[in-house]
Amino acid sequence: MTIKIYGDAGSGSLRRVNTAAKIMGIELERVNVDLFKGESRTVAFKSRLNPHGLTPVLEDGDSILWEASAINLYLASKVNSPLVGTTQAECFQVLQWMFWSGEQWRTFTTTLFDERVGKTVMGVPKDESLIKFAEGKIRAAAKVLDQHLRSRKFMVGNALTLADIDIAAPFSQVDRAKFPFKEYPNLIAWHDNLLHSFPAWAATKAEVDNRMESFLASVGVKL
């Protein structure tokens, strides 16, 4: 039975799932959900797929699963993928960094994206105090990452894991939302290595960029 993934090509979260699936050799049937048209916020979508009105959402037979990290762990379990780590110790370290990414990293980059990109598109004033707060949190987290990656090519062990994919996700919108990542050379070098070493990550970057730039041009927004 085909596994379906619902989402918008401009989503960094969908990018995480698409990248991991390609690396694991899992074929997904893409079902486009236009976030800019509010297609994830309909009663039908919320009642059947995700009550929060968010994507991506995975449908595998009778199983419905949302949250990109959970989806990737689910897919990895189906094929016994080393993306979750190859030892028990690595597995827990991968989970540690995935949970950290959700609580200490991506939540603040999402805030900055909403303020700098979302509000620009909507034509409403930015909250400069919130921008300052989010940037402070991002810099504190980036400092931790920069130190961790000082002598590493990957977040855990010596190979790509889901921890790398989760933490790399904000790079999907780094230029549009102007995240202060360039201040952290080890972080930049680590991400450059991912782009050059894993074609799936580069391919999904192009997809996100094409979708976002096309949308911004369609509404006459230049960031």
Give tens-digit pLDDT for 99-156. Answer: 999 999 999 999 999 999 999 999 999 999 999 999 999 999 999 999 999 999 999 9
pLDDT digits (tens, 9 = 90+) for 57-67: 999 999 999 99
pLDDT digits (tens, 9 = 90+) for 69-104: 999 999 999 999 999 999 999 999 999 999 999 999
* Residue 18 to residue 166: CA distance in whole angstroms: 12
Residues β-bridged to residue 66: 57
Quick count: other Cβ atoms within 10 Å of Cβ 141?
A: 23
Residue 51 DSSP code = T
Please state the domain extents for the chain: 3-81, 84-218
Does CATH number 1.20.1070.10 belong to domain 84-218? Answer: no
Quick count: other Cβ atoms within 10 Å of Cβ 142?
A: 20
Q: What are phi and psi of 5, to 5 degrees?
A: -130, 125
The CATH class of the 3-81 domain is: alpha beta
Q: What are phi and psi of 65, to 5 degrees?
A: -140, 130
Angle CA 93–194–215, to nearest 5: 110
